[in-house]
Structure 1
């Protein structure tokens, strides 16, 4: 029997986590179909993996104009989730790096000179969570942050 559990996705800039770390304005980003339909990873749930997976597409538009002309490292951050561990993996069209992040961590998506006011890419995200811990629609908030080298 197939069972679907919804996950909602939000992108939001969050507070800085260190003196050289700043939130990146991603307010122009767009999540296509933010309500993610998930499915059991194992065709027979409970016999091994209770993982549910779902996919969505994000058009990421990062306003990096405050750091134009500087070197920086941009990270995709996934804060801890109320429903326990969540893993997000993604591919890109090449402007940002592909990768994986677990809840409570951050992963590098760009390193180098900031030569433009905006960095744009399309991310195909695959979300994976423990389906036995999902009982309702959950909001998942990703954010982007930048570590900027001192001038």
Structure 2
């Protein structure tokens, strides 16, 4: 076999495997309405004596996908583990992304297919819930999006 052909094949495989995997997407143009949200106590019920806290926010998503146009894969919403308390997010969407649910420390599939545009835009109505151990008047939740290439 021609050694230059073999070298070219090895380099092509190395480049393909370097771009395969999980990649964090830029969602810096996304924003919430309202910009800050106040957690409120849930009413206690006979089945749930501990109660917890809840808030609702609308998220205007703008996910930059220009580096991945023409590539197929899956996009996940990620909520890193929160050391202070467990957070649950449940959402509905108005556009191309899937509705879903996740708990801090998890990621949830929100889109699958071939990227066809420079960005994905959608609106999510998100309900955030925590247990009664929520202890901060102000906390930032660091949701982000990841793209797993096929």
Band of TM-score, shorter chain: 0.7 to 0.9
Secondary structure (helix, strand or coil) at the match of 1:66 reads helix
Q: What do residues 85-137 of structure 1 show as CA deviations (whole Å, max 9, x unaligned)? A: 10001000031000001000000000011011100000111000013332432
Where in structure 1 are there 5+ consecutive unaligned residues?
1-18
Where in structure 2 are there 5+ consecutive unaligned residues?
1-19
Secondary structure (helix, strand or coil) at the match of 2:146 reads strand
Separation in 1, partners of 2:133, 2:147? 34
CA contact (8 A) 1:63 1:117 kept: yes
Partner of 1:76: 77
Partner of 2:43: 42
Distance 1:76 1:29, change over 3 A: same
Partner of 1:61: 62
Q: Based on CA coordinates, which of the two structures has the bigger radius of gyration? A: 2
Q: What do residues 23-52 of structure 1 show as CA deviations (whole Å, max 9, x unaligned)? A: 0010111112232122222257xx713311
Relative to the length of structure 1, the TM-score reads 0.80
Kindly tell me the number of residue pairs found equivalent between the two proteins: 130
Deviation (angstroms), 1:141: 0.7
Q: What do residues 49-102 of structure 1 show as CA deviations (whole Å, max 9, x unaligned)? A: 331110001100011111100111000000011322100010000310000010
Separation in 1, partners of 2:93, 2:100? 9
Partner of 2:123: 122
Partner of 2:8: none
Question: What do you get for the CA RMSD once the two structures are aligned?
Answer: 1.8
CA contact (8 A) 1:41 1:49 kept: no
CA contact (8 A) 1:75 1:108 kept: yes
Partner of 1:108: 109
